[in-house]
Amino acid sequence: MPGERLLNVLCAVCGDRSSGKHYGIYSCDGCSGFFKRSIHRHRHYVCKAQGELKDKCPVDKTHRNQCRSCRLARCFLVNMNKDGNYISDTVTRQKIQTFVSIAVQHERGPRKAKQKILSVSNMILPTSTGSTAPPVACSSSPTIANVSTTSISNHFNRKPKLLPTQLQQLSCLPTIDNYNPFPTIINQITLYEAAARLLFTMTNWLETVPSFKILPNDDQRSLLEDNWHYLLIVNLSQWMVPIMAIQLTNSTLTQTDQIEIQRICDCIYKLRSLALDAYEYTYIKTLSLYQSSAKLLINQSHIDACQEHVLFVLRTSLMSHSTTTYSIKFSQLIGIIQMMNQISANSVQRILFPSITHDVPVGKILWELYRSKSSETTI
């Protein structure tokens, strides 16, 4: 019935209960009415906040009426449009796509779970490029054995003319056809190879993130070089890589290494204990990718908007599973991200990639791999 609230679908703008689709998205009557008045009367609002808080006012059920400028910006951010298309009179298609195209890769998961996520919000657009990232099995505990062997093998067999010497060393690993990365007897070589293969799957995943691909090259490089190890840790959790076995097989580890391994394992096991689905893992990966960089970023405002948007979608996803425990789970995930921030890239490289000299950071190698892959796809 018109006007009847949809109890299981939230307003994409403020998080209140939606009354249906308005202007292309699920929204409440308040936000849809505000958007209609603003557009039809050609309103131009100015945020009154000062300094770092300017244009960053909270837009939720409680604060949505406090700043009309940020509320209207939020409407555009979640792809609200007056005529049902992806353009409006005041914001171009390119600008909208910049803010709302945060990727959820086409990972295979339970059909009901996928439909549930899509019914909660249409804020995230799936990519139209091929499924190059490792598919997620229907089981809630996927392993790296589920990785698409064809796509990974193509990476190992690629001509390395654009890659540095260190990258060529990684690309010379054997293909994973008929390969079980976790045999009964786990050894260091197996774990190191599994970690290296995950680097290749990470470049596949980056290709499915439009909001990352449209960033200036300098920003892409800074984010990837600074945050690659966070992405890897999340992938280690998703693909059930037992890195704790390194402690059992490597007697040369220093006490510092032992502590760092324990920190990594704590993050991995805490993530696993939350039983995240494929989409929620994707949100955590995106948040990990957009962690603060030590370098000055050219398009920091876009990155901030992406982080805010992903946090909103993650919270909405958790709420769709349980309206009573979602806030606890959300807080736990934020805590895990903070735990990961205490782990240095140098430690992860020293533990999982000991064959690579320390004067050649893995982040730089990964950037070269991603850049070469991107250049090949544009030819």
Q: What's residue 30's pLDDT? A: 92
pLDDT average per 10 residues of sequence, the chain (379 residues): 52 84 85 89 85 84 89 84 47 34 36 40 31 35 36 34 38 34 48 82 86 88 93 89 63 79 90 88 90 78 84 86 82 90 89 80 90 65
Token representation of residue 345: 């890239």
Q: What's residue 233's pLDDT? A: 93
Token representation of residue 13: 């703008």
User: Alpha carbon 198 to chain centroid distance?
Assistant: 15
- H or E stretch covering 336: helix 326-340
Show the CA angle centred on residue 23, arms to residues 287 and 28, nearest 5°: 75
Contact 155/133 with Cβ under 8 angstroms?
Answer: no
What is the three-class DSSP state of 21? strand
Distance CA 304, CA 223 (A): 13
Token representation of residue 24: 């292309």
CATH architecture designation of domain 188-376: Orthogonal Bundle (1.10)
Q: What's residue 34's pLDDT? A: 93
Burial per residue of 181-208, b for 16 or more beta-carbon CB atoms within 10 angstroms, e otherwise: bbeeebeeebbbbbbbbbbbbbbbbbbb
Q: What's residue 44's pLDDT? A: 84
Question: CATH class for domain 20-97?
Answer: alpha beta
Contact 279/114 with Cβ under 8 angstroms?
Answer: yes
Contact 124/102 with Cβ under 8 angstroms?
Answer: yes
Q: What's residue 126's pLDDT? A: 26
Q: What's residue 305's pLDDT? A: 84
Q: How many CB atoms lie within 10 A of CB 13?
A: 31
Show the CA angle centred on residue 110, arms to residues 104 and 116, nearest 5°: 65
What is the three-class DSSP state of 158? coil
Q: What's residue 249's pLDDT? A: 56
End-to-end distance of the chain based on CA atoms, in angstroms? Answer: 51
Asked whether the whole model's pTM tops 0.95, one would answer no
The DSSP annotation for 89-120 comes to SSS-HHHHHHHH----------HHHHHHHHHH
Helix axes 278-289, 300-321, angle to 10 degrees: 160
Distance CA 143, CA 139 (A): 9
Using DSSP, how many helices (H) and how many strands (E) does the chain show?
A: 16, 4
Contact 347/257 with Cβ under 8 angstroms?
Answer: yes
- Cα-Cα-Cα-Cα torsion 324, 231, 106, 177, nearest 10 degrees, comes to -130
Q: What's residue 221's pLDDT? A: 92
Where are the chain's structural domains?
20-97, 188-376
Q: What's residue 374's pLDDT? A: 67
Token representation of residue 132: 């190059």
Burial per residue of 321-337, b for 16 or more beta-carbon CB atoms within 10 angstroms, e otherwise: eeeeebeebbeebeebb
